[in-house]
Structure 1
Amino acid sequence: MVQDPKLDIEQSFWETGIVRVAGVDEAGLGCLAGPIVAAAVILPPEVTPIPGVRDSKQVSAAKRIQLLPKIQAQAIAVGVGVASVAEVDQWNVLRASYLAMQRALARVAPVDHALIDGREIYHADLGSVTTIIHGDALSYSIACASIVAKVRRDRFMQCLAKRYPGYGWERNAGYGTQQHREALQTLGVTPWHRKSYAPVQAVMQQLPLFEP
């Protein structure tokens, strides 16, 4: 049975007087197309966790949409940051994700400390941080951020899907599903594809750039 994340980690900071603790997570790291979207969520110390909030991958799309306004209502601050496809291709996907996190944290400043899902971070100025492997399953504020980032990115990809039909972005959000890969082979590469990724590069050698 999947357990809802708790506030134990946040509480350990709140008890020492560190109040503005931001949970941070991103969406879109493994996609073939679209930007990386990160979210930062700061919660009040007296917060009561919303039932059902957990790692966004463990929550249905419909449930995530229902949870988003509840998260926004109970948060002190919610910030979203984006790293573009061009930045992914220029810097690599990991460094681009750090850019998105920096931008999300800037939108909720000041931040006393950030809890970030993932492994130790190098070569990125994110301030005072604690990285937590599987943080979106352990920290409630990170789980909140994971839902915010996922919903915001999915909405953006759904808008792009109307301009670039056939890739299934309204359903796969730019991930490399079979439909997406087959569409790449027949329709070609769009300006929203990550051209530094091997599957996209392979298609670019065969087909011209897609023009809507």
Structure 2
Amino acid sequence: MIRDKSARKPAKGVPKEDAAKKAAPAKAAKLADVKAPTGKKGIIAITPPSFRRERALIKRGVWPVAGCDEAGRGPLAGPVVAAAVILDPDRIPRGIDDSKRLTAEERERLFDKICATAQVSVVVASRARIDRDNILRASLWALKRAVVALPEAPRHVFVDGRDRLDTACDCEAVIGGDGIVLSIAAASIVAKVTRDRLMCALAQDCPGYGFEQHKGYAVPEHLDALDRLGPTVHHRSFFAPVAAARAKHMPWTVEPVRDLFEVTEVEVQADAGVEIDASAGL
């Protein structure tokens, strides 16, 4: 490529300042020819999850490959639901994304397509298990059981988050995996839709709490209902707002906490017939 260097040089007899002023409009015109990205200002394009990592394993002869994710770690009520999915490389539904980026209608549509084309398993960790084991252990238990429950045992598993699962096959934890790995995104949709349906069913048994709207999360409407009505059997006992509501409505169920710094006086009775030798250094 031959560049015209004469455009950079000012004409003879023309001061450099005048030449720069004449060159400015031309430079501005060139910049104007460069089109800015279309779309609304302030919106950043987010890359959807891809099947790249799964295909890399397939090329190495590693198959089946599963993705797993859970829904419901943060809510104050209801179970945590884990799902595992093995996508068919030749029948991947279009539009799969992180469940949090999709509308409820999109999730329902993709849920049906994923279940019709992929191998899917779902495991529910109950409120009682969450209270007994804590939410992290209950979630990891459900995720592992979902992998084991797949119709075909995977040779590699991708799991959303930072915690690897104790599985018989290789397991790779991917932070933010539901927005990166397509199999995890598919599992996030299955888990989310399943849990939402369960919470809508619980709403019929426990009217007044709005489970069908907020799905058990700590939104103002839910906190207000907790304060007015008290907790249900579906609320997680050791989550702070639930514990506070229990103390208000059912104080007899709350065990008093012992003060570890409480000073206790102990009476010591000495036998008058016992002589103490001062030279013993006691």
**TM-score range with shorter-chain normalisation?**
over 0.9
Match of 1:175 in 2: 217
Q: For 1:114, give the aligned amino acid.
A: V
Q: Secondary structure at the match of 2:222?
A: helix
**For 2:125 and 2:167, how far apart are their aligned partners in 1?**
15
Unaligned runs of 5+ in 2: 1-44, 252-282
Query: SS at the partner of 2:212?
Result: helix
Q: 2:175 aligns with which of 130, 133, 147?
A: 133
**Cα pair 1:18 1:112 within 8 Å, conserved:** yes
TM-score normalised to structure 2 length:
0.70
Partner of 2:102: 59
- Give the SS at the match of 1:206: helix
Unaligned runs of 5+ in 1: none
How far the C-alpha of 1:63 sits from its partner, in A, is 1.0
**Aligned equivalents of 1:125, 1:136: Cα separation in 2:** 20
Aligned to 2:52: 8
| CA RMSD in angstroms, aligned pairs only | 1.4
Asked if residue 113 in structure 1 is aligned to residue 161 in structure 2, the reply is no
Letter aligned with residue 162 of structure 1: Q
Give the length in aligned residue pairs: 205
Q: TM-score, normalised by structure 1?
A: 0.92
Identity of aligned residues (%): 45
Corresponding residue SS for 1:196: coil
Q: Name the amino acid aligned to 2:61.
A: G
CA distance in 2, matches of 1:53, 1:171: 24
Whether the 8 Å contact between 1:39 and 1:80 is mirrored in structure 2 is: yes
SS of corresponding position for 2:100: helix
1:208 CA displacement: 3.1
CA distance in 1, matches of 2:177, 2:91: 18
Cα deviations across residues 101-159 of structure 1 (Å, max 9, x unaligned)? 122112204121110000133xx523320000110001111000000000000000000
Q: Which has the higher contact order (CA 8 A, sep 6+)?
A: 1
Could you list the runs of 4 or more consecutive aligned residues of structure 1 that deviate by over 4 angstroms after TM superposition? Answer: none
CA distance in 2, matches of 1:196, 1:8: 41
Q: Which amino acid aligns with 1:66?
A: R
